[in-house]
Structure formats: structure tokens, C-alpha cells
Amino acid sequence: MDPTLTAGIVGAVGSVAGAVIGTIVGYKLNNSKADVDFYLDNRVWLYYYESCFSMYVPITVVNEGSKSFTVTSFEVELTSPTNQKWKLAWEDFAEENSHKGEGWGRGKVAAPILVHGRSGTQHHIRLTNFEKTSDEFSEVKLPTGQYQIKLNAFDRNTKCFKSKIGYFNIGTEAAETLEKRRTDKQDLGTWWFPVRSNA
């Protein structure tokens, strides 16, 4: 067979094979599912606001898949050293204003987070418990000891698709200060705690 003809045939077959493989790989990449995860970013802030208890949680949401994904809501389950449990609902995106000489502020109202394919976003979210005692103070009392925080994320079908657990400790000084703030509606000071992944 003529060498030029042979080379032409081999080249043509290679080109067709390359095109087919490229099409298959491209199809798979373009049609892969969303692969969403989120992370607690190592600390939380606690405070009391007008008889309710709030927690600021910095999070990173990542999507390693190619399809976009919507996180519609978050919920925190906080467990005390005495095994008392409270649920906190997502209220808004928090704004840290220390650079203005101010404390934390309310940001945009809680709204779904759209995470595009192969991307990530960072947010501070504020979660709140509105339950009160008979004397109109927050029912969330924080004794000293180790706390567990379980952050649940929900998809468009209001299904919890992922949970993350972290732990932090409240010492004596912090517990005493937070208790005073619980009963003083004018004191909106926060206290931050480092969060770890292991108990």
C-alpha cells in the first residue's frame, strides 16, 4: 500500500477517534452532577439580641461538580454540656463591622445560595433561637463546658443534604459575661469561640 495513503488513513482514523473521545469526555463533564460541600470556618460568635439568642457562623460552600446547586436553608442544633438542645434558624447574612468601630449587623435577609459549577463562596450567616422563658429572657443559657454545634444544610426539596459537626468550649469568664448579656437587652456584645472538628 502506498505510504502516503496509509498515513492518510491512519490520520483520518485518529482524528475520528479523537473527536469521538473528545465528545464523550465533554458530554460527561458538561452533564456531571453537582458535588456540593460546606465547611465551618473555625470559629463562631455568640450573643443575645432583644431576648433572643444568635450565633454568627462563617462558612465556605464549594461545588466541585459542573452543575449548579442551590442551598435553600441552614439550621443549627446546639447541644450544651448538660445535653440540653436548642435549634437555631437561619435569619440573614451577617455583616462584621469592626472596621467601622461597630459590632455585628444584620445583612441581607436569608435567601438561597446559588453555587455555580466548579466554584465556591464564603458567607457569614446568622442563626437565631427565639424561644423565651416566663421572664421574657432567652431560654438559651450557656454554662461552662463543651458544646456541640451541628450545622445542617438543605436543598431545593427542603431535604438536609449534608451536616457538619464542630465543638467549642465556654470557660467561666465567657459564661458569666454571656449570662449578664442574656438579661441585659442593651448589651449586644459578642464573644467568639474557636471551633474544632473533634470532641
Question: Strand 43-49 and strand 113-115: pairing?
Answer: unpaired
Q: Is the pLDDT of residue 27 over 60?
A: no
pLDDT-based confidence at residue 94 (cuts at 50, 70, 90): confident
Q: Which CATH class is domain 36-194?
A: mainly beta
Q: Return the domain boundaries, the chain.
A: 1-31, 36-194
State the CB neighbour count (10 A cutoff) for residue 138.
23
Is 40 in contact with 164 (CB distance < 8 Å)?
Answer: yes
What is the structure's pLDDT at 48? 94
- In tens, the pLDDT along 111-120 reads 999 999 999 9
What is the structure's pLDDT at 4? 53
Is 60 in contact with 40 (CB distance < 8 Å)?
Answer: no
Is 72 in contact with 155 (CB distance < 8 Å)?
Answer: yes
**Region 156-171 average pLDDT:** 97
Say how far apart CA 129 and CA 20 lie, in whole Å: 56
What is the structure's pLDDT at 168? 98
What is the structure's pLDDT at 179? 96
pLDDT-based confidence at residue 6 (cuts at 50, 70, 90): very low
Is 92 in contact with 126 (CB distance < 8 Å)?
Answer: yes
- Listed in sequence order, the DSSP H helices in the chain are 3-31, 172-182
